[in-house]
Structure 1
Amino acid sequence: MSENGTGRGRRLPAGRKADLAAFVAESGQVTVAALSEHFGVSIDTVRRDLDQLDREGVLVRTHGGAVSIEGPRTDRGLDVRLRMQIAEKESIAKLAAGLVADGTVIMLNAGTTTLAVARALRDHRELTIATNNLRIPAEISPKAIRDLYVFGGAVRTITQATTGPVAFTMNAGGSEVDIRCDLALIAVGAVATTGYSTSNLGDAAMMADMMQRAQHTAILADSSKMGRRLFAQVATLERADYLVTDTPPEPELADALAQAGVQVLTP
């Protein structure tokens, strides 16, 4: 359809882009073709608008469309999440790395925030790390680790991580080895007064198991995840020792965390 064929198409570009951004925010995720049809403009025009809105940080451009930064939460792919809240994740990672002592055993779950933590551990030494995050072996400095273990299980391609038991066996058909760690660093999808949650049942079970095997637990979540509740509960607030985030939580959540004995760490 021609851009001059409808009243919508004749709108000023600035107004159209604002409407487009609002539509993506409301939808959560949308394709270029759907936007072209909805606004009555060409696919090339939509692509140019999306590229500009991505550069401005209004949304995240994806192959064939865009996703919202602040709209409804969908199970976004890793390539999209790597481009969201970058500064916040880096500040969280720096704080989280400060909780890790050289020579200790830590567990890291899947997520882009834990990938930032892995990079922030570059000056550490003699760490033993167990993770379900398939990207961590490529992200962490070899100088930082003594041993690195990756949990087996089914691979979720959208997160590039495994889901399954937090367990290892000595050999094929052998008995399970009881594993423990000094600190579990767990990135979650949401934090509310009811506890920590995520969008996938398998991920939730794995996070909970990691926490149960840890002497201490630090929950990692940027401010966009505060006051939200997702599908699968991971644990109640008191199951963690620390919440590492980029800005202080709202008063109601802050009070609940304090009552649960959770220390909130912010830059």
Structure 2
Amino acid sequence: MSIPQSGRGKRLPAGRKADLAAYVAGNGQVTVTDLAEHFGVSIDTVRRDLDQLHREGALIRTHGGAVSATDGGLRDRGLDVRLRMQVEEKESIARIAAEMVNDGAVIMLNAGTTTLSVARALRNHHDLTIATNNLRIPAEIAPSAFRDLYVFGGAVRAITQATTGPVVFTMAAGGPEVDIRCDLALVAVGAIDESGFSTSNLGDAAMMAEMIERAEKTAILADSTKLGRRLFAKVAPLERADYLITDAAPESGLLDALAEADVALHTP
């Protein structure tokens, strides 16, 4: 493999890593092979650099490559990528959310890695009734935490490992729909701004909106990277939620809008 004449391959490791992080940020998603060819170094060297940059939070390591940690999130990322993003923030959000859930409660959880963290945080609860479109939750939640666990049917989105469809159940095939309600909906969203909550997919937005409609109380879950942003599909205006659980307080404009909408803010 030839080394580019620009001398990139001869730079000190710190300089190469900075260039590598900038290259990933500029391209959004790259493979190890692409990086090795671009920088004129071995694949093993690239892998070591990526591992270190992932630990430093400069990018997100994926199988066979990396994606930008500073991507605005305007396109969907696979679940394997999102599971490695804002891990500590999601866990702190999950702990607060779990404290809102009483034993014996009926709750709804939507798709997302934040709600997977909530499912794990419910391990010490008992007698819950849970309805979800998140196909990973049955494997993540402790069996001792729930009495009944229901998964909504519908089309499966492989990128989110969740179903998209109506928030309904029937007593039997072809039978009438059962009117369902819950004490608390825990809904992870993709973005929040002064106009409300939004996400990147129309089907997901419709399902999340229906979960909110069927809940006595709604807690919106979003880490601070999602605050002050707007995505393609609006889920609901701010006033449809009762709580926002996040890892850091929003900036003043959004903070004032939440207060005006009577949304209680919960942070660690």
- TM-score tier by shorter-chain length is over 0.9
Identity of aligned residues (%): 76
1:110-131: CA deviations, max 9, x gaps? Answer: 1111011111111111111000
**Aligned mates of 1:94, 1:211 — CA distance in 2:** 21
TM-score (norm 1): 0.95
1:118 matched residue in structure 2: 119
Question: Quick check: 1:81–1:112 contact (8 Å CA) kept in 2?
Answer: yes
1:176 matched residue in structure 2: 177
What is the deviation of 1:89? 0.8
1:115-165: CA deviations, max 9, x gaps? Answer: 111111111111110000011111111111111000011111111111111
SS at match of 2:16: helix
1:51-97: CA deviations, max 9, x gaps? Answer: 22123332111122101222232311111111111111111011111
What is the deviation of 1:36? 3.2
What is the deviation of 1:23? 2.0
1:24 matched residue in structure 2: 24
Alignment gaps of 5+ in structure 1: none
What is the deviation of 1:231? 1.2
What is the deviation of 1:259? 0.6
2:251 matched residue in structure 1: 250
What is the deviation of 1:186? 0.2
SS at match of 2:104: coil
TM-score (norm 2): 0.95
What is the deviation of 1:4? 6.3
1:220-239 to 2 correspondence within 5 Å?
Answer: 220-239=221-240
RMSD (Å) for aligned C-alpha atoms: 1.5
**Aligned mates of 2:88, 2:142 — CA distance in 1:** 21
What is the deviation of 1:27? 2.6
Q: 1:30 is aligned with what amino acid? A: V
1:1-267 to 2 correspondence within 5 Å?
Answer: 1-3=1-3, 5-73=5-73, 74-267=75-268
Q: Spell out structure 1 runs of 4+ moving beyond 6 A.
A: none
Q: 2:131 is aligned with what amino acid? A: A
Of residues 239-248 and 5-14 in structure 1, the stretch that sits farther from structure 2 once superposed is 5-14
Question: Quick check: 2:153–2:163 contact (8 Å CA) kept in 1?
Answer: yes
Of residues 43-52 and 176-185 in structure 1, the stretch that sits farther from structure 2 once superposed is 43-52
**Aligned mates of 2:172, 2:79 — CA distance in 1:** 32
**Aligned mates of 1:226, 1:218 — CA distance in 2:** 15
Question: Quick check: 1:196–1:235 contact (8 Å CA) kept in 2?
Answer: yes
Alignment gaps of 5+ in structure 2: none
**Aligned mates of 1:6, 1:22 — CA distance in 2:** 17
